[in-house]
Amino acid sequence: MQKTAVAIAALTLLSAAVWWNAASVGNQPATDETNIAQGEQIIHHRPGSEKPGEPAVASALTAGRLDLTVVDAATGEPAPCRVNVIGPDGNYYEPDDNPLALWSLKRSGNREGKGPFRYYGWFFYSDGTCRVEVPPGKITVEVWKGFEYTPVVREITVGQGAATALTVKLQRGIDMTQTGWYSGDPHLRRNGDYDDARTLELMAAEDIRFSQILCFNLNRNYVPQMGQQLTPQFNGMGDASIRTQGIYTIGSGQEYRGSVFGHILHLGASRIVDANGLKTNTDNWPPFGLVADEVHSLGGISIHAHGGYEKEIYADFAQEATDGVELLQFAVYRGIGLEGWYHILSAGYRFPAIGASDYPYCRALGDCRTYVKLDATQPTMADYNRGLAEGRSFFTTGPLVEFTVDGKRAGEPLELPKGATIKVQATVTSLVADVQELQIIEGGTVRFRKTVNKDEQRKPIHWSLDIPIQGSTWIAFRAIAPGPDEREDVEAHTNPVFVSVANKPRIKSESIRWLLAKLDERIRLHESREFAEKPKVLAYFATSRKRLLERLELAE
């Protein structure tokens, strides 16, 4: 049964990969092949080694055997984790018999040209115990488990024909749940028939507390039946789909997709949307804002995927119809980018951003994720999604953040009198990648920077400032570092604290005008198209334009 499930999952991933490649033809900009090749070398080039390693199989005539056990130092129990086993030749070796083999880097993820651009090797996932055939000599073992565990590197000599045992203890370097922060990746895919226990084991290996597995439709074509979706989720949706193993939870969601309006995530809804029923053409009708109304009635939230692709998102946020934007992905800020998001915030909107990996169409499982501040003793997926929609979060490729403004956290309002000074405090701990710079962002401008010294890296970094505030604004925190060759790598960004001074609105006229220009581009696109629902779509966009103009009258 297990082999059958693996085969089904492999077939689904292959089919989806074929779909992605086909859908991308003609839509992707030309990319310098040398630049791509150099980026890929970064992923597989172990620091200090002469050249990148490759996946390899040890010769049966000379191989030795490594019996590897990885345990959690706190419990002594086997710990699911991510592992590299490197031979004396600098190449990478995997177990022959591994229930998590399908998700090793040579089989899943590892999307070319996508960050984070940092060393990953050629890892495999383990449930905590594995047996690896290796060439004789010095063997290097590297073990990771998400962003909160301290990575471990061990060396051991394995003789020809000999069996050698190694036990590695993994220590949680920081427990974010102690201060109420819970990790999640709300944009993952798998086959609906696949084993829930195996999926939960993968999430444990990357220490992702809340994960949402999405079904999705091909662009434009949509039939509101689960069996007609790619990667269908037959556990149901919403609360019915929840599965838990220890401290890890998975649930099912939907990515509703069109090529004209973009893609949008529906999280926590009790079923997939009807939209316009069997007549639905996701390029024409209904707009995402109206689909989001249905999602809300089903108990879910709607978040624009991939930075909204700079498409209908410019109409939906203006009507406060959708709940936020998936911004950090592949270690970059996609679609509207930071510039667009900052303008939305500076136009007076509370429009949270999140980070997610889009696995397996990314570099690695959970390489971008969102931490949400949850007050419940035993938080649920519904609590996590509510926190996403309320902006009580930060999103990251590794750095872990504590950030307050006069004691207020991300997503919270702060009321101040005129002439007030605020205390901004931040603590950053990054166990998996070095941070080089910290930033305090006010109203879309980097107001303060702090350079992180080498002797501070991989340790808690504390920063405290007293800042005079001139008027209503928003304040957020960011931690960054480029990877090798200045490529995208280390990113962490909080959602903002919203500061109101003397009850005056925080609206910038230049941001409204910037957003109007973007909206007008989309209106011109729809005016140039011919489709039956064109008058209704233009009316929807006209309403968005009216809402922005109303705010312009209140702007500074």
User: Which domains are present in the chain?
Assistant: 42-170 (2.60.40.10), 175-392+507-556 (3.20.20.140), 397-503 (2.60.40.10)
Tell me, what's the pLDDT at 3? Answer: 35
pLDDT band at 31 (very low <50, low <70, confident <90, very high): low
Alpha helices for 103-208 (secondary structure H): 196-205
Structure-token match 């035993």, residue found: 378
Parallel, antiparallel or unpaired: strands 301-304 and 262-267: antiparallel
Q: Going by C-beta distance under 8 Å and a sequence separation of 6 or more, which residues neighbour residue 290? A: 321, 540
What pLDDT does residue 190 have?
83
Give me the amino acid identity at 30.
A
Tokens of 184: 């999640």
The pLDDT tens digits for 306-323 are 999 999 999 999 999 999
pLDDT by residue (tens digit) across 263-276? 999 999 999 999 99
Per-residue pLDDT tens for 326-368?
999 999 999 999 999 999 999 999 999 999 999 999 999 999 9
Beta strands in 189-295 (DSSP E): 210-216, 243-245, 248-258, 262-267
Q: Which of 8, 12, 18 is nearest to 215 (CA)?
A: 12
Q: What is the pLDDT of residue 2?
A: 35
Q: How many CA atoms lie within 13 A of 82 on its CB side?
A: 24
Using pLDDT thresholds of 50, 70 and 90, give the confidence band for residue 28. Answer: very low
pLDDT at 486: 86
Least confident of 152-156, 338-342, 453-457, 505-509: 453-457
Identify the residue whose tokens are 């922060």.
181
Q: Given a cut of 90, is residue 391 above it in pLDDT?
A: yes
pLDDT reading at 412 higher than 80: yes
Q: Give the H or E element holding residue 290.
A: helix 288-297
How far is the first Cα of the chain from the last one, in angstroms, to the nearest whole number?
Answer: 65
Q: Give the torsion sign (CA, 372, 378, 382, 386).
A: negative
Side chain identity, residue 352: P
Better-scored residue on pLDDT, 16 or 395: 395
pLDDT category of residue 37 using cuts at 50, 70 and 90:
confident
Mean pLDDT of the chain: 92
Burial 76-113 (b: 16+ CB within 10 A, else e): eeebbbbbbbbbeebbbbbbeebbbbbbbbeebbbbee
Q: Collapsing DSSP states into helix, strand and coil, what is residue 47? A: coil
Q: What values do phi and psi take at 241, rounded to 5?
A: -90, -5
SS3 assignment, position 385:
helix
* pLDDT on residue 165: 98
Query: What local confidence, expressed as pLDDT, does residue 477 receive?
Result: 98
1 pLDDT above the threshold of 80 = no
DSSP code for 377: S
